[in-house]
Structure 1
Amino acid sequence: MNRGNELLTIGELAARTGLSVSAVRFYERKGLVHPIRTGGNQRRFLRADIRRVSFALIAQQLGFTLPQIAAELGKLPEGTAPSAADWKRISRGFRQVIETRVAQLQRTLDDLDGCIGCGCLSLRKCALYNPEDRAAQNGAGPRFILVSRKVAMGLGD
């Protein structure tokens, strides 16, 4: 059999990606990988699934949710390794979300530096000051940060 067409057992896929077998099954239930079933109903995975699982692990570390990851993986061709163009398309979308997050984190750092930098936590200078509780109209909790985080994660405002 051609190595590119070689099918992997669930244990082999787990070993190649550093996951447990149960984690591979979890990813399967979430729609991140789609095994082929043998006549004996055993799971077999394409070598391309190593890339898909690895992508999912990296994307999770970057803060993307499993539904977001599954949606992106769902745009890739089934039964074959994704092309460079496929990965480039996904990375462009993820890059935009990550750049938005970086900008939001930088704003938060700048606000914290300004607040800590004044030495007195003056409400006149504090970037997080909330006169008349105006942030409450957006919901409970630290709205300045939570709303910015939702935007940064691509979940709307």
Structure 2
Amino acid sequence: MENLSVGEVAKRCGVNVSALHFYERKGLINSARNSGNQRRYGRDIIRRVSLIKVAQQLGISLQEIKSVFESLPKYGAPSHAQWEQLATDWHQQLDQRITMLQKLRDSLTGCIGCGCLSMQRCPLYNPDDKLGAGKTGPVLLET
């Protein structure tokens, strides 16, 4: 199977060429070089870039993405077992993120336990910032 140019990968994945260069500098993806010193990618890169793009849209940091990619081979498509292991490793972290997002969504119009005491009718009023004695920040949203 023929390798893809950086422009072909960018077009196929819906990202700018500069994004691919950035991902490569950050160690998220790797390319080979042809005899003209141009970047070339295997087709497996489409899955990785697509996962990076979706993860970023969901607020997952590049460092988090990089850490889950470390278990995958640098070049070539991961095996089915390697992708399953990646999914398993990331599953708990994603579940925690989903839970936090749901709590935030459900608490935006009410109290999040931050200790600001600024709401007239906070459903979880925090007199004298008692919640702040043990923790700071949005303690009712933290898991």
Asked if residue 143 in structure 1 is aligned to residue 130 in structure 2, the reply is no
Counterpart amino acid of residue 85 in structure 1? A
Gaps of 5+ in 2: 112-118
Match 1:77 to one of 73, 76, 98: 73
- What SS class does the counterpart of residue 54 from structure 2 fall into? helix
Q: Which has the higher helix share?
A: 1
Matches within 5 A, 1:1-157: 3=1, 6-109=2-105, 111=107, 122=121, 126-127=123-124, 129-133=125-129, 134-135=131-132, 138-139=135-136, 142-144=137-139, 148=142
Provide the rounded CA distance (Å) in 1 between the counterparts of 2:95 and 2:79: 24
Q: Verify the 8 A CA contact 1:48 1:80 in the aligned structure 2.
A: yes
Runs of 5+ unmatched residues, structure 1: 152-157
**1:86-120, CA deviations, whole angstroms, 9 ceiling, x for partnerless residues?**
221122232212222232344445556776xxxx9
The one-letter code sitting in structure 2 at the alignment partner of 1:77 is P
SS at match of 2:40: strand
The answer to whether the Cα contact below 8 Å between 2:29 and 2:74 also exists between their aligned partners in 1 is no
CA-CA distance at 1:121 after TM superposition: 5.4
**Secondary structure at the residue paired with 2:139?**
helix
Residue pair 2:30, 2:75 contacting (<8 A) in 1 also: no
Question: AA paired with 2:57?
Answer: Q
The number of equivalent residue pairs is 135
Q: Is the 8 A contact 1:136 1:143 kept in 2?
A: no
Question: Contact between 1:135 and 1:143, CA under 8 Å: does it hold in 2?
Answer: no
The TM-score, its normalising length taken from structure 1, stands at 0.71
Q: Which moved more, 1:19-28 or 1:79-88?
A: 79-88
Offset, 1:34: 0.8
Write out per-residue CA displacement over residues 26-77 of structure 1, whole angstroms, 9 at most, x where no aligned residue: 1111111111122322111111111111111122122211011011112101
In 2 relative to 1, CA 88–97 (structure 1 residues): closer, same or farther, beyond 3 Å? same
Give me the whole-angstrom Cα distance separating, in 2, the residues matched to 1:108 and 1:18: 30
